[in-house]
Amino acid sequence: MTALEYRYQLLDVFTHVPFGGNQLAVFPQATGLTALQMQQIARELNLSECAFAFPVEGRSLEWTLRIFTPGVENPFAGHPTIGGAIALAQEAVGSCPPLTRIVLHEAIGPIAVEVGCKRSIPSATLTLPNVPQFGPADCSNAALAEMLGLEPNEIGDGAWAPVTVSCGIPYYIVPVKSLASARRCALRLDRWERLLASHWAPHVYVVALETERADADFHVRMFPPAMSVAEDPATGSAAAALAGLLARVEGGSGRRRWTVEQGLELGRPSFIVVQAELDAGIATRVSIGGEAVVVGQGVIRAPSP
Protein backbone atom coordinates (compact mmCIF):
# COMPACT_ATOMS: atom_id res chain seq x y z
CA MET A 1 0.00 0.00 0.00
CA THR A 2 1.44 3.37 -1.03
CA ALA A 3 1.50 6.25 1.41
CA LEU A 4 1.96 9.98 1.04
CA GLU A 5 3.81 12.06 3.62
CA TYR A 6 2.23 15.16 5.15
CA ARG A 7 4.27 17.35 7.46
CA TYR A 8 2.82 19.25 10.38
CA GLN A 9 3.78 21.84 12.96
CA LEU A 10 2.89 21.31 16.61
CA LEU A 11 1.91 24.52 18.40
CA ASP A 12 0.71 25.53 21.83
CA VAL A 13 -1.93 28.22 21.36
CA PHE A 14 -3.16 31.02 23.68
CA THR A 15 0.13 30.98 25.55
CA HIS A 16 3.62 32.44 25.19
CA VAL A 17 5.40 29.49 26.83
CA PRO A 18 5.82 25.89 25.62
CA PHE A 19 3.50 23.28 27.15
CA GLY A 20 0.89 25.84 28.12
CA GLY A 21 -2.24 26.71 26.17
CA ASN A 22 -4.01 24.33 23.83
CA GLN A 23 -2.19 21.86 21.60
CA LEU A 24 -2.65 22.03 17.85
CA ALA A 25 -1.23 20.25 14.82
CA VAL A 26 -1.24 22.36 11.64
CA PHE A 27 -0.82 20.69 8.26
CA PRO A 28 0.20 23.58 5.96
CA GLN A 29 -0.07 21.55 2.73
CA ALA A 30 -3.00 19.16 3.10
CA THR A 31 -3.93 18.93 -0.58
CA GLY A 32 -4.83 15.35 -1.42
CA LEU A 33 -6.21 14.35 1.97
CA THR A 34 -9.82 13.22 2.17
CA ALA A 35 -12.20 14.02 5.02
CA LEU A 36 -11.88 10.43 6.23
CA GLN A 37 -8.08 10.65 6.26
CA MET A 38 -8.14 13.96 8.12
CA GLN A 39 -10.44 12.46 10.74
CA GLN A 40 -8.17 9.43 11.05
CA ILE A 41 -5.10 11.66 11.48
CA ALA A 42 -6.86 13.73 14.15
CA ARG A 43 -7.76 10.54 15.98
CA GLU A 44 -4.19 9.25 15.63
CA LEU A 45 -2.59 12.42 17.04
CA ASN A 46 -5.35 12.67 19.69
CA LEU A 47 -4.95 16.42 20.27
CA SER A 48 -7.84 18.76 20.98
CA GLU A 49 -7.84 19.69 17.30
CA CYS A 50 -5.89 19.43 14.06
CA ALA A 51 -6.02 22.06 11.31
CA PHE A 52 -5.57 21.16 7.64
CA ALA A 53 -4.75 23.99 5.21
CA PHE A 54 -5.45 24.03 1.48
CA PRO A 55 -4.03 27.00 -0.48
CA VAL A 56 -6.64 28.99 -2.41
CA GLU A 57 -5.50 28.98 -6.03
CA GLY A 58 -4.59 32.39 -7.39
CA ARG A 59 -4.92 34.17 -4.03
CA SER A 60 -1.94 35.09 -1.91
CA LEU A 61 -2.19 34.51 1.83
CA GLU A 62 -5.56 32.73 1.62
CA TRP A 63 -6.25 29.15 2.61
CA THR A 64 -9.21 26.88 3.14
CA LEU A 65 -8.93 25.53 6.68
CA ARG A 66 -10.63 22.34 7.89
CA ILE A 67 -10.63 21.58 11.59
CA PHE A 68 -11.00 18.15 13.23
CA THR A 69 -11.19 16.99 16.82
CA PRO A 70 -10.50 13.28 17.48
CA GLY A 71 -14.23 12.66 16.95
CA VAL A 72 -15.76 15.28 14.64
CA GLU A 73 -15.10 18.03 12.11
CA ASN A 74 -15.82 21.52 13.45
CA PRO A 75 -17.14 24.34 11.26
CA PHE A 76 -14.98 26.82 13.17
CA ALA A 77 -12.73 26.88 16.22
CA GLY A 78 -10.66 29.59 17.84
CA HIS A 79 -7.35 28.01 18.70
CA PRO A 80 -6.96 26.21 15.32
CA THR A 81 -7.70 29.50 13.53
CA ILE A 82 -5.25 31.49 15.67
CA GLY A 83 -2.56 28.78 15.61
CA GLY A 84 -3.19 27.92 11.96
CA ALA A 85 -2.86 31.57 10.94
CA ILE A 86 0.41 31.91 12.85
CA ALA A 87 1.90 28.72 11.38
CA LEU A 88 0.87 29.67 7.83
CA ALA A 89 2.15 33.24 8.18
CA GLN A 90 5.46 31.96 9.51
CA GLU A 91 5.83 29.74 6.44
CA ALA A 92 4.90 32.58 4.11
CA VAL A 93 6.73 35.60 5.57
CA GLY A 94 9.05 34.45 8.38
CA SER A 95 9.22 33.01 11.88
CA CYS A 96 8.45 36.36 13.53
CA PRO A 97 6.12 37.82 10.91
CA PRO A 98 5.50 41.55 10.52
CA LEU A 99 1.87 42.59 10.72
CA THR A 100 0.25 40.44 8.05
CA ARG A 101 -3.40 39.98 7.08
CA ILE A 102 -4.47 36.54 5.94
CA VAL A 103 -7.85 35.00 5.18
CA LEU A 104 -8.90 31.51 6.28
CA HIS A 105 -11.97 30.07 4.61
CA GLU A 106 -13.82 27.88 7.13
CA ALA A 107 -17.26 26.33 7.07
CA ILE A 108 -18.83 29.38 8.77
CA GLY A 109 -17.33 31.71 6.15
CA PRO A 110 -14.11 33.64 5.44
CA ILE A 111 -12.27 34.76 8.57
CA ALA A 112 -9.85 37.68 8.48
CA VAL A 113 -6.84 37.20 10.75
CA GLU A 114 -4.09 39.68 11.56
CA VAL A 115 -0.79 38.06 12.50
CA GLY A 116 2.12 39.92 14.07
CA CYS A 117 5.01 39.50 16.49
CA LYS A 118 5.74 41.11 19.86
CA ARG A 119 8.68 40.28 22.14
CA SER A 120 9.64 37.62 19.54
CA ILE A 121 6.35 35.82 20.24
CA PRO A 122 3.88 35.60 17.33
CA SER A 123 0.28 36.52 18.01
CA ALA A 124 -2.92 36.72 16.00
CA THR A 125 -6.37 38.28 16.18
CA LEU A 126 -9.35 36.99 14.24
CA THR A 127 -12.63 38.72 13.53
CA LEU A 128 -15.71 36.52 13.51
CA PRO A 129 -17.92 36.59 10.40
CA ASN A 130 -20.92 35.95 12.67
CA VAL A 131 -22.32 37.91 15.61
CA PRO A 132 -23.39 36.02 18.76
CA GLN A 133 -26.77 34.32 18.41
CA PHE A 134 -28.78 33.23 21.45
CA GLY A 135 -30.59 29.90 21.53
CA PRO A 136 -32.80 27.92 23.93
CA ALA A 137 -31.69 27.81 27.58
CA ASP A 138 -34.31 25.40 28.86
CA CYS A 139 -32.40 23.48 31.55
CA SER A 140 -33.03 24.28 35.19
CA ASN A 141 -30.25 25.43 37.49
CA ALA A 142 -30.83 22.31 39.55
CA ALA A 143 -30.29 20.05 36.54
CA LEU A 144 -27.18 21.94 35.41
CA ALA A 145 -25.78 21.86 38.94
CA GLU A 146 -26.32 18.12 39.23
CA MET A 147 -24.60 17.60 35.88
CA LEU A 148 -21.57 19.60 37.09
CA GLY A 149 -21.40 18.14 40.58
CA LEU A 150 -22.45 21.42 42.22
CA GLU A 151 -25.30 22.70 44.36
CA PRO A 152 -28.12 24.68 42.65
CA ASN A 153 -27.27 27.83 44.62
CA GLU A 154 -23.79 27.86 43.05
CA ILE A 155 -25.23 28.49 39.57
CA GLY A 156 -25.64 32.09 38.43
CA ASP A 157 -29.02 33.83 38.28
CA GLY A 158 -30.53 37.14 37.25
CA ALA A 159 -28.31 38.82 34.66
CA TRP A 160 -25.85 35.95 35.07
CA ALA A 161 -28.34 33.13 34.53
CA PRO A 162 -27.22 30.34 32.16
CA VAL A 163 -27.69 31.03 28.44
CA THR A 164 -26.90 29.37 25.13
CA VAL A 165 -24.92 31.35 22.56
CA SER A 166 -23.21 30.60 19.26
CA CYS A 167 -20.69 32.41 17.06
CA GLY A 168 -20.43 29.32 14.87
CA ILE A 169 -20.47 26.63 17.57
CA PRO A 170 -23.24 26.73 20.21
CA TYR A 171 -22.31 26.64 23.90
CA TYR A 172 -24.35 26.26 27.06
CA ILE A 173 -22.76 29.05 29.12
CA VAL A 174 -23.14 28.32 32.84
CA PRO A 175 -22.01 31.17 35.12
CA VAL A 176 -21.07 30.08 38.63
CA LYS A 177 -20.86 32.27 41.71
CA SER A 178 -17.27 31.63 42.76
CA LEU A 179 -13.86 30.51 41.58
CA ALA A 180 -14.10 27.63 44.04
CA SER A 181 -17.26 26.40 42.31
CA ALA A 182 -15.56 26.54 38.92
CA ARG A 183 -12.57 24.60 40.20
CA ARG A 184 -14.80 21.94 41.74
CA CYS A 185 -16.82 21.24 38.59
CA ALA A 186 -16.73 17.64 37.42
CA LEU A 187 -18.96 16.84 34.45
CA ARG A 188 -21.11 13.75 35.05
CA LEU A 189 -21.42 12.08 31.65
CA ASP A 190 -24.58 10.18 32.51
CA ARG A 191 -26.35 13.43 33.44
CA TRP A 192 -24.90 15.22 30.39
CA GLU A 193 -26.16 12.48 28.07
CA ARG A 194 -29.70 12.86 29.38
CA LEU A 195 -29.63 16.66 29.54
CA LEU A 196 -27.51 18.02 26.69
CA ALA A 197 -26.25 15.30 24.34
CA SER A 198 -29.06 16.11 21.88
CA HIS A 199 -29.41 19.78 22.80
CA TRP A 200 -28.85 22.69 20.39
CA ALA A 201 -25.91 23.66 22.63
CA PRO A 202 -24.27 20.45 23.92
CA HIS A 203 -20.91 21.99 24.89
CA VAL A 204 -20.70 23.20 28.50
CA TYR A 205 -18.84 26.46 29.22
CA VAL A 206 -18.49 27.29 32.92
CA VAL A 207 -17.72 30.94 33.74
CA ALA A 208 -16.63 32.50 37.05
CA LEU A 209 -16.18 36.22 37.68
CA GLU A 210 -13.37 35.50 40.16
CA THR A 211 -9.96 34.76 38.62
CA GLU A 212 -6.58 33.38 39.61
CA ARG A 213 -4.62 35.95 37.59
CA ALA A 214 -5.04 39.62 38.48
CA ASP A 215 -4.92 40.60 34.80
CA ALA A 216 -7.79 38.27 33.81
CA ASP A 217 -11.48 39.16 33.93
CA PHE A 218 -13.05 35.68 33.87
CA HIS A 219 -12.05 32.14 34.80
CA VAL A 220 -13.59 29.52 32.52
CA ARG A 221 -13.72 25.80 31.86
CA MET A 222 -15.13 23.99 28.82
CA PHE A 223 -16.44 20.42 28.70
CA PRO A 224 -17.13 19.11 25.15
CA PRO A 225 -17.85 15.36 25.31
CA ALA A 226 -19.74 15.68 22.01
CA MET A 227 -16.34 16.45 20.42
CA SER A 228 -14.74 13.37 22.03
CA VAL A 229 -12.76 15.67 24.36
CA ALA A 230 -13.19 15.52 28.14
CA GLU A 231 -12.09 19.11 28.87
CA ASP A 232 -10.54 21.74 26.62
CA PRO A 233 -7.67 23.91 27.93
CA ALA A 234 -8.48 26.91 25.67
CA THR A 235 -11.62 27.53 23.62
CA GLY A 236 -11.66 30.60 21.42
CA SER A 237 -15.07 29.91 19.88
CA ALA A 238 -16.60 29.76 23.38
CA ALA A 239 -14.86 32.98 24.41
CA ALA A 240 -16.38 34.62 21.31
CA ALA A 241 -19.83 33.34 22.30
CA LEU A 242 -19.27 34.67 25.82
CA ALA A 243 -19.04 38.16 24.31
CA GLY A 244 -22.76 37.91 23.54
CA LEU A 245 -23.60 37.43 27.22
CA LEU A 246 -21.12 40.08 28.38
CA ALA A 247 -22.60 42.62 25.97
CA ARG A 248 -26.07 41.92 27.35
CA VAL A 249 -24.89 42.19 30.97
CA GLU A 250 -22.77 45.33 30.57
CA GLY A 251 -25.11 47.09 28.14
CA GLY A 252 -24.32 50.36 26.46
CA SER A 253 -22.37 50.99 23.28
CA GLY A 254 -18.72 51.21 22.32
CA ARG A 255 -15.70 48.93 22.34
CA ARG A 256 -15.05 46.45 25.14
CA ARG A 257 -12.06 44.22 25.93
CA TRP A 258 -11.86 41.26 28.30
CA THR A 259 -9.23 38.61 29.11
CA VAL A 260 -10.32 35.04 29.79
CA GLU A 261 -8.15 32.54 31.68
CA GLN A 262 -8.65 28.83 31.06
CA GLY A 263 -6.84 25.51 31.38
CA LEU A 264 -5.38 26.09 34.83
CA GLU A 265 -7.06 22.97 36.22
CA LEU A 266 -5.36 20.98 33.44
CA GLY A 267 -1.90 22.44 34.04
CA ARG A 268 -2.07 24.28 30.70
CA PRO A 269 -2.67 27.97 31.49
CA SER A 270 -4.30 29.77 28.57
CA PHE A 271 -5.22 33.42 28.04
CA ILE A 272 -7.67 34.63 25.40
CA VAL A 273 -8.31 38.28 24.61
CA VAL A 274 -11.92 39.01 23.61
CA GLN A 275 -12.92 42.29 22.00
CA ALA A 276 -16.40 43.40 21.00
CA GLU A 277 -18.16 46.40 19.58
CA LEU A 278 -21.45 46.99 21.38
CA ASP A 279 -24.57 48.76 20.21
CA ALA A 280 -27.20 49.16 22.94
CA GLY A 281 -26.09 46.00 24.71
CA ILE A 282 -25.75 43.88 21.57
CA ALA A 283 -22.39 42.64 20.29
CA THR A 284 -22.22 43.71 16.64
CA ARG A 285 -18.62 42.64 16.05
CA VAL A 286 -16.44 40.16 17.96
CA SER A 287 -12.71 39.44 17.77
CA ILE A 288 -10.53 37.04 19.73
CA GLY A 289 -6.77 36.91 19.94
CA GLY A 290 -3.76 35.40 21.60
CA GLU A 291 -0.20 34.17 21.26
CA ALA A 292 1.20 30.81 20.16
CA VAL A 293 4.54 29.02 20.18
CA VAL A 294 5.85 26.23 17.94
CA VAL A 295 7.01 23.29 20.05
CA GLY A 296 7.69 20.63 17.45
CA GLN A 297 7.13 19.20 14.00
CA GLY A 298 6.53 15.86 12.40
CA VAL A 299 5.42 13.82 9.41
CA ILE A 300 2.34 11.65 9.02
CA ARG A 301 2.30 8.88 6.42
CA ALA A 302 -1.28 8.64 5.14
CA PRO A 303 -2.22 5.60 3.05
CA SER A 304 -3.59 6.50 -0.36
CA PRO A 305 -7.41 6.53 -0.36
Q: CA distances (Å), 214 to each of 201, 218, 261, in order?
A: 31, 10, 10
One domain, residues 106 and 7: yes
What pLDDT does residue 53 have?
A: 98
Query: Which distant-in-sequence residues (6+ apart) come within 8 Å of 252 by Cβ?
Result: 278, 280, 281
One domain, residues 144 and 267: yes
Residue 302 confidence (pLDDT) above 90: no
One domain, residues 278 and 299: no
Annotated catalytic residues are 49
Q: What is the DSSP string of 89-151?
A: HHHHH-SSPPSEEEEEEETTEEEEEEEEEETTEEEEEEE-SS--EE------HHHHHHHHT--
One domain, residues 124 and 174: no
What pLDDT does residue 1 have?
A: 59
State pTM to two decimals: 0.94
One domain, residues 158 and 281: yes
User: How many Å apart are CA 212 and CA 157, to the nearest integer?
Assistant: 22
SS3 state of residue 77: coil
One domain, residues 299 and 282: no
One domain, residues 218 and 99: no
One domain, residues 78 and 215: no
Read off the pLDDT of residues 163-206 as tens digits, 9 standing for 90 and up. 999 999 999 999 999 999 999 999 999 999 999 999 999 999 99
Read off the pLDDT of residues 121-165 as tens digits, 9 standing for 90 and up. 999 999 999 999 999 999 999 999 999 999 999 999 999 999 999
Number of domains in the chain: 2
CATH number of residue 92's parent domain: 3.10.310.10
Confidence tier at 303 by pLDDT (50, 70, 90): confident
Q: CA distances (Å), 63 to each of 50, 89, 92, 105, 287, in order?
A: 15, 11, 12, 6, 19
Read off the pLDDT of residues 78-128 as tens digits, 9 standing for 90 and up. 999 999 999 999 999 888 888 999 999 999 999 999 999 988 899 999 999
One domain, residues 10 and 97: yes
User: How many Å apart are CA 162 and CA 216, to the nearest integer?
Assistant: 21
What pLDDT does residue 93 have?
A: 87
One domain, residues 277 and 198: yes
The domain of 297 spans: 3-129+291-303
One domain, residues 57 and 166: no
Q: CA distances (Å), 77 to each of 5, 22, 142, 255, in order?
A: 26, 12, 30, 23
One domain, residues 65 and 140: no
Read off the pLDDT of residues 35-78 as tens digits, 9 standing for 90 and up. 999 999 999 999 999 999 999 998 989 999 999 999 999 999 99
Q: Which of 33, 97, 100 is nearest to 304 (CA)?
A: 33
